Amino acid sequence: MEKEQDQRSEINDFEETETNDNKVTTPEEAEEGNKEKNHEEKILELEDKLARSFAEMENQRRRFEKEKDEAFEYGGFSFAKEALGLLDNLERSKQILKNDDSLINSEALKKTLEHFEIINKDLIFIFEKNNIRPIESLNKKLDPNFHQAMIEIEDEKNEPGTIIQEIQKGFTIKNRLLRPSLVGVSKKKESKDPKNEEKEEK
């Protein structure tokens, strides 16, 4: 009897397993499964979009902070650049007076130049208080970041590319270029070809 019961139990287990293996998924069940997958995909997609939005907001915040800081630091950039014209005009006026034959060695010229020098020093002092500083140029090597070469001058005393003349002084504001120095740089004297010299003499 026990053997028969065991055999029947095994047969029933087999039939149940076979039934489960051969169970056919209905269209409704398949659609339900797809919906669950679609929901998961949509959640993941929304999470990704949310993360991207937060990252973009953070980047915008950083850009805003940077622009705000730069506006605060360099807000007077345009004004400072225009104000340099005062120094230029002052220097031109000095040169005109010095070259006036009717004023040479006169007391009037001496006093006027003294007043010009006081005004020049006051302006430089005000500029430096606002972090506007002149660029050192003479006897320095040409630096394209701060100097603009206007002319080349033959010179045997200095290495080629050395600044030996300052045409217009340049300035920086808080390590940012306000305007470059306009300069003249040295170059080697051109060696004349003896053959060409002979031709010229003939």
End-to-end Cα spacing for the chain: 143
Identify the residue with better confidence: 112 or 14.
112
**Does 118 share its domain with 92?**
yes
> Total structural domains in the chain?
3
DSSP lists the bridge partners of residue 182 as 148, 168
pLDDT of residue 83: 85
Do the domain assignments include residue 21?
no
**Does 110 share its domain with 98?**
yes
pLDDT at 4 over 70: no
pLDDT at 182 over 70: yes
Q: What's the mean per-residue pLDDT of the chain? A: 78
pLDDT band with cut points at 50, 70 and 90 for residue 101: confident
pLDDT of residue 1: 52
pLDDT band with cut points at 50, 70 and 90 for residue 131: confident
Do the domain assignments include residue 14?
no
pLDDT at 23 over 70: no
Distance CA 186, CA 158 (A): 7
For residue 54, what are the domain limits? 34-74
